[in-house]
C-alpha cells in the first residue's frame, strides 16, 4: 500500500535500509549535539575531577606517606586517572535512564532502528567524553608536577588500559541505567563510586588494611589498572605479595574484558526484554 502524504511532501520519503553503523553514527551525532547545546553537566564533571585532584594534592597530600619516599603527586595521579574513569559512570547511567523514562527509547524501538545502535552509540559517545576527561586530567597532572617516565610505548599502554577500564565501566553504567528507574539509579551509582575507589590501592596500601579487606582491595579491578599504570608510567606504588599485586598488568587487561563480557550481553538482553 502506498504511504499517505501528510502534509503533501515534495520530499521523497522512501527510506533507505537500516544499518547498525549508520544508526549508531546518527545517535552518536545526537549525543554530541546534546553536549554542545547543554555542556553544563560535562563542565561540572570535569571541574569536579580537577577539584578532587587539587584537594588530594594540596589538602590531604601533606598527611599521606609515599611508599619508597617518592613524589606524592607522582604517586597520586595514576589513582586519580582511574578514579575519574569511575566518576563518569553516573553520566552514562543518567543518559540511559532518562531516555527510558522520557519515552525516547520507546520511540526508537517503534522505529526501524537497529536494536543495538542506541546502546552502541551511548558507549561510543561516552568514550569520546572519557578521552576528553583523561586528556584534561593528564594536563592537570603535568601542571602539578606529575610525569610519565616509562617511554612512549609504556605511556600509551597505560593510557590504553585506563580507557579500557572506562569502556568496561560504561557497560556497567548502561546496564544500571536499564534496570533501575529514575533518580534512584543515579544516587545508587554516585554513592558507589567513592567506596569502589577507596576500596582499592588508589590511596591506601591494601597491606595496611585488615586481611580480608586487603584481599578485596587487591582484587578490585580498579587496583589492577592503578597498579599497572603506576608501573607503566614509572610512578611510585605499593607493590605487595599477593598474586593480584604481582600481576597488575595482566589483571588490568583481564578485568575489563570480563566486565565487558558480562555487562554488554546483559545490557543487550535487558534492552531486548523491554518488549516483555
Instruction: Tell the smallest beta-carbon distance from residue 41 to another protein (Å).
Output: 10
Report residue 55 as a C-alpha cell. Answer: 584537594
Minimum CB distance to another protein smaller for 30 or for 147: 30
**Residue of 20, 22, 204, 215 interacting with another protein (CB under 8 A):** 22
* End-to-end CA gap in the chain: 30
Give the one residue of 43, 51, 60, 106 binding another protein; rule: CB under 8 A.
106
- Nearest CA to 221 out of 202, 205, 238, 242 is that of 202
Cα–Cα dist 80/73, whole Å: 10
Q: How far is the CB of 106 from another protein (least distance, A)?
A: 6
Nearer to another protein, 10 or 153 (CB): 10
Torsion of CA 187, 190, 192, 198, to 10 degrees: -150
* 181 near another protein (CB under 8 A): no
From the list 4, 59, 63, 152, which residue makes contact with another protein (rule: CB under 8 A)?
Answer: 4
Q: Which is nearer to another protein, 4 or 59 (CB)?
A: 4
Nearer to another protein, 21 or 142 (CB): 21
Q: Cα(189)–Cα(90) distance, rounded to whole angstroms? A: 6
**Which one, 26 or 208, has the nearer CB to another protein?**
26
DSSP state string for 154-193: HHHHHHHHHHHHHHHHHHHHHHHHHHS-HHHHHHHHHHHH
Residues 29-48 within binding reach of another protein (CB under 8 A): 29-30, 33-34, 37-38
Distance CA 170, CA 183 (A): 18
Task: Please identify, using beta-carbon distances, which residue of 12 and 241 lies nearer to another protein.
Answer: 12
- Shortest Cβ distance from residue 246 to another protein (Å)? 47
Q: Binding of another protein at residue 7 (CB under 8 A)? A: yes
11 vs 59 by CB, closer to another protein: 11
Interface with another protein by CB under 8 A: which range of 28-36, 189-197, 200-208, 237-245? 28-36
- The yes or no reply on residue 182 touching another protein (CB under 8 A) is no
Q: Does 5 bind another protein (CB under 8 A)?
A: yes
Q: Tell me how crowded residue 122 is: count the other CB atoms within 10 A of its CB.
A: 24
Angle at 180 between CA 176 and CA 181, to 5 degrees: 135
Q: Does 102 bind another protein (CB under 8 A)?
A: yes
Q: Are 49 and 137 in contact (CB under 8 A)?
A: yes
Instruction: Evaluate the omega torsion of the peptide bond into residue 167 and state whether it is cis, within 30 degrees of 0.
Output: no
Q: Which of 84, 74, 248 is nearest to 157 (CA)?
A: 248
- Restricting to residues 110-169, which ones interact with another protein according to CB under 8 A? 110-113
Residues that bind another protein (CB under 8 A): 1, 3-13, 15-18, 22-23, 26-27, 29-30, 33-34, 37-38, 102-104, 106-113, 274-276
Amino acid at each position: 500500500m502506498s504511504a499517505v502524504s501528510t502534509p503533501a511532501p515534495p520530499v521523497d520519503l522512501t527510506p533507505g535500509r537500516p544499518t547498525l553503523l549508520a544508526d549508531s553514527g546518527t545517535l552518536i551525532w545526537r549525543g554530541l549535539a546534546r553536549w554542545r547545546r547543554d555542556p553544563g553537566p560535562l563542565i561540572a564533571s570535569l571541574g569536579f575531577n580537577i577539584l578532587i585532584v587539587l584537594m588530594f594534592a594540596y589538602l590531604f597530600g601533606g598527611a599521606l606517606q609515599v611508599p619508597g619516599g617518592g613524589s606524592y603527586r607522582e604517586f597520586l595521579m595514576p589513582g586519580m586517572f582511574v578514579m575519574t574513569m569511575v566518576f563518569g559512570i553516573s553520566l552514562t547511567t543518567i543518559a540511559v535512564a532518562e531516555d527510558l523514562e522520557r519515552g525516547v527509547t520507546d520511540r526508537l524501538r517503534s522505529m526501524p532502528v537497529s536494536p543495538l545502535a542506541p546502546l552502541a552509540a551511548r558507549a561510543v559517545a561516552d568514550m569520546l567524553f572519557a578521552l576528553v576527561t583523561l586528556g584534561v586530567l593528564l594536563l592537570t597532572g603535568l601542571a602539578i608536577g606529575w610525569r610519565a617516565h616509562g617511554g612512549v610505548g609504556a605511556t600509551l599502554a597505560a593510557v590504553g588500559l585506563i580507557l579500557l577500564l572506562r569502556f568496561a565501566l560504561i557497560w556497567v553504567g548502561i546496564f544500571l541505567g536499564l534496570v533501575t528507574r529514575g533518580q534512584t539509579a543515579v544516587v545508587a551509582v554516585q554513592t558507589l563510586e567513592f567506596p569502589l575507589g577507596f576500596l582499592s590501592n588508589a590511596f591506601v596500601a591494601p597491606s595496611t588494611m585488615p586481611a580480608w579487606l586487603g584481599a578485596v582491595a587487591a582484587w578490585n579491578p580498579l587496583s589492577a589498572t592503578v597498579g599497572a599504570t603506576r608501573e607503566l608510567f614509572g610512578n611510585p606504588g605499593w607493590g605487595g605479595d599477593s598474586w593480584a599485586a604481582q600481576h597488575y598488568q595482566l589483571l588490568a587487561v583481564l578485568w575489563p574484558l570480563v566486565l565487558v563480557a558480562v555487562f554488554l550481553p546483559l545490557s543487550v538482553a535487558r534492552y531486548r526484554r523491554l518488549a516483555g
